[in-house]
Structure 1
Amino acid sequence: MYAERVLSGMRPTGALHLGHYHGVLKNWVKLQHEYPCLFFVADWHALTTQYDNPQGIERSSMDMVIDWLAAGVDPNQATLFIQSKVPEHAELHLLMSMMTPLGWLERVPTYKDQQEKLAGKDLTTYGFLGYPLLMSADILIYRADKVPVGEDQIPHVEFTRELARRFNHMYGREPGFEDKAREAVKKLGSKKARLYEELRTGFVQNGDKEALEQGKALLNEIQHLSALDRERLFGYLEGSGKMILVEPGYLLTEESKMPGLDGQKMSKSYHNTITMRESEESVAKKVKSMPTDPARVRRHDPGEPTKCPVWQLHQVYSNEACKEWVQQGCRTAGIGCIECKQPVIDGILKEQVPMRERAQMYLDDPTLVKNIIADGCEKARELARETMRDVREAMGLEYH
């Protein structure tokens, strides 16, 4: 019932840069071979801060999906879809908004951070306050148990876990739940039933989290249970009711090591990016005009690589021998700054070759991208409908 599943999304910001590739997409490409993955365009999320200027969202979404495909995300391995094409996200968001305490939303760390960062915008909207709840609905609608996040997004996953717990506790009580759960325990067979009861007691009475994890692992091993009995046993194990929404875990992703052209983090807001499919001429021009160590005013002045933004790019693109050559040449003024930049230009262009090649067929025939998205949206909706059936039933909204 609750298979391993990875979910991740990105706001449509148009063409992606190499920071996105090194920080997110390389990881997606790896994950798609390890788990069933769902990757989505978070277009409703774009409206939380761009509600007054939505015109470019569709174009940006398509450009972004082409970049995903260019990076090596494979639609045969992963499901790619657009958030707004799966209206169940909005329905779950609405129903959960009925039972989410206001204080929980105001406590999310990024709420205050974003307001300060985007001080020029009026963000006193319900949509902006409620965006962590929409993010939780995105995860919970697919019963995704793995969410790849950076350190700063862990509070969002914790918030989602609390919401799932609260929801299951409030609505997971079906009539005669305990009797039905005890009947389901008997179906485990005497040995496993005894172990299950021990683990349940360990968690419910003593708060032993290890016992809870062992109990979940035990249930995941058992094949012959019906979906309904499995749900009841998961809920009973935690001392709540039926487990309708799954508490997600997170997969911590390393922060992108990709510096921008000025040595700061690569970011559109700093105007220091190289896009994934930027032309060769433009890449060469941007790298050649990068600032270098201020001490090297003339060609024969020695420099210090650690004070130069170009050195940070060598860390990403150069091998040990090249880095040795840079350090030696820079400190003795044996090489000039333009010579030092050439291996970086070569490294970036080499990385981009397969990206441009993969993207070309989608640029030549945009219907291919539309078909991939349509197919992904249909697969995503199937999973979302299944969750919403259970949610409506639990909340007494499944009119027969």
Structure 2
Amino acid sequence: MSNSTNKRPVILTGDRTTGPLHLGHYVGSLKNRVTLQHTHEQFLLLADIQALTDNAHDPEKVRRNVLEVAFDYLAVGIDPALTTICVQSALPALAELTMLYMNFVTVARLERNPTIKTEIQLRGFERDVPAGFLCYPVAQAADVTAFKATIVPVGEDQAPLIEQTNEIVRRLNRQIGRDLLPEAHAMIPTVGRLPGIDGKAKMSKSQGNAILLSASPDEIRDAVRQMYTDPHHIRASDPGTVEGNVVFTYLDAFDDDPANIEDLKTRYRRGGLGDMPVKGQLEDVLQSLLAPIRDRRAQYAEDPGYVMNLLREGTVRARERTQATLEEVRAGLGLFSL
């Protein structure tokens, strides 16, 4: 990379390889990544090791979805000439940094992390939480610092993980006696988390309430028709509620004509506008958005060897970067070297 590129702020982001990506990923992060790759040095991590923390019983699922997520990255406009796409499990420095960092955090602190506490409850782990899952904040600190990233795009619910990363960075820097590793800033998206089509707080393929980026026209149409609206808006003449109405939430996120949306909201609140015309507007918007993404994805999926080669090239670059950081940390801690 050129010197001018290296002077750009470094971003690390990525996704667990547990399944193809959906509209929630697009509005929450993918759209921003496409823009940021032109102004930042961006590393995109296919987080297969993190995916194993609660999928160790099905490693084939994790392995298979490395390519599925890569197809989605390329389809939305991630350019491998501008963004380094790499595979987490093929970066051995991350594992060693994780082990080193575990000495700078306590189990009690990990258990107090709000993000981890919530995820443990959602998965019903109780005291049977896998150690790898509990220690995920340490692994993420290794990911972020290995690339010396100063910006990490995350949802608001993930911000405590970046806070814990910075705690580890400060403790390590104090031990070394200088600021070897930079602290990171959590970049919170301006658009809130996209709800599932059933109105639940989180869109998730496992809950069957997601619209995949690869969804067919019929799948998009069916999903929009099933969307949660206002249960009290029985007749078109009834005044309707916009707040909490998933169809309007999606229109706010994806429709580029805010004046038209406001007009629809006014008419819906007043009464005289049924659910189906509003859903028809949303379907048109989503069909137009996803058609080119779906077509590009299909083209990449026809040549998985080409995509695998892109991942190898990106992972080689990332391995050089992360290994250099590991050697700096080892030297700073005064570890024995052969």
Q: CA offsets, 1:331-390, max 9 Å, x none?
A: 443x54333321111000111122123213211111121011101100000101111221
What displacement does 1:329 show?
A: 6.5
Q: Partner of 1:251 in structure 2?
A: 187
Task: List aligned pairs for 1:311-322, cutoff 5 A.
Answer: 311-318=248-255, 319=257, 320-321=259-260
1:384–1:313 distance in 2 versus 1, CA, 3 Å = closer
Of the candidates 296, 304, 320, which is equivalent to residue 240 of structure 2? Answer: 304
Q: Partner of 1:267 in structure 2?
A: 203
User: Given the alignment of the two structures, is residue 101 of structure 1 paired with residue 109 of structure 2, yes or no?
Assistant: no
Distance 2:23 2:336 in 1: 47
3-state SS, counterpart of residue 76 of structure 1? coil
Cα RMSD of the aligned pairs, angstroms, is 2.4
Q: Partner of 1:154 in structure 2?
A: 159
1:251–1:315 distance in 2 versus 1, CA, 3 Å = closer
Q: CA offsets, 1:151-200, max 9 Å, x none?
A: 22222222212212211222x2xxxxxxxxxxxxxxxxxxxxxxxxxxxx
User: Given the alignment of the two structures, is residue 8 of structure 1 paired with residue 13 of structure 2, yes or no?
Assistant: yes
Matched letter for residue 247 of structure 1: E
Matched letter for residue 39 of structure 2: E
Q: CA offsets, 1:79-124, max 9 Å, x none?
A: 0011001011001111222343333323322232222111157643
1:7–1:292 distance in 2 versus 1, CA, 3 Å = closer
Q: Partner of 1:284 in structure 2?
A: 221
Matched letter for residue 105 of structure 1: L
Is contact 1:150-1:254 (8 Å) kept? no
Distance 2:322 2:314 in 1: 12
Task: List aligned pairs for 1:67-146, cutoff 5 A.
Answer: 67-119=72-124, 123-146=128-151
Q: Partner of 1:181 in structure 2?
A: none
Is contact 2:47-2:88 (8 Å) kept? yes
User: Given the alignment of the two structures, is residue 344 of structure 1 paired with residue 268 of structure 2, yes or no?
Assistant: no
User: Given the alignment of the two structures, is residue 357 of structure 1 paired with residue 311 of structure 2, yes or no?
Assistant: no
Distance 1:47 1:31 in 2: 28
Is contact 1:79-1:376 (8 Å) kept? yes
Matched letter for residue 249 of structure 1: H
Matched letter for residue 309 of structure 1: V
Q: Partner of 1:379 in structure 2?
A: 317
1:121–1:67 distance in 2 versus 1, CA, 3 Å = farther
Distance 2:223 2:155 in 1: 28
Matched letter for residue 265 of structure 1: A
Distance 2:229 2:182 in 1: 51
Is contact 1:305-1:331 (8 Å) kept? no
User: Given the alignment of the two structures, is residue 33 of structure 1 paired with residue 31 of structure 2, yes or no?
Assistant: no
3-state SS, counterpart of residue 84 of structure 2? strand
1:266–1:71 distance in 2 versus 1, CA, 3 Å = farther
Of the candidates 314, 325, 328, which is equivalent to residue 390 of structure 1? Answer: 328
Distance 2:209 2:126 in 1: 23
User: Percent identity of the aligned residues?
Assistant: 33
| Number of residue equivalences | 329
1:120–1:153 distance in 2 versus 1, CA, 3 Å = closer
What displacement does 1:313 show?
A: 2.8
Matched letter for residue 284 of structure 1: R
Is contact 2:95-2:139 (8 Å) kept? yes
Distance 2:44 2:22 in 1: 18
Matched letter for residue 29 of structure 2: V
3-state SS, counterpart of residue 306 of structure 1? coil
What displacement does 1:276 show?
A: 0.9
Distance 1:249 1:82 in 2: 23
Is contact 1:150-1:253 (8 Å) kept? yes
1:135–1:326 distance in 2 versus 1, CA, 3 Å = closer
Q: Which runs of 5+ in 2 are unaligned?
A: none
Distance 1:126 1:169 in 2: 27
1:85–1:322 distance in 2 versus 1, CA, 3 Å = same
1:100–1:262 distance in 2 versus 1, CA, 3 Å = closer
Distance 1:46 1:366 in 2: 21
TM (norm. structure 1) is: 0.75
Matched letter for residue 247 of structure 2: V
Query: Greater CA radius of gyration, 1 or 2?
Result: 1
Q: Name which of structure 1's ranges 322-331 and 48-57 shifts more when overlaid on structure 2.
A: 322-331
Q: Partner of 2:263 in structure 1?
A: 324
1:270–1:303 distance in 2 versus 1, CA, 3 Å = farther
Distance 1:150 1:17 in 2: 15
Distance 2:124 2:57 in 1: 15
Is contact 1:19-1:256 (8 Å) kept? no
1:337–1:156 distance in 2 versus 1, CA, 3 Å = closer
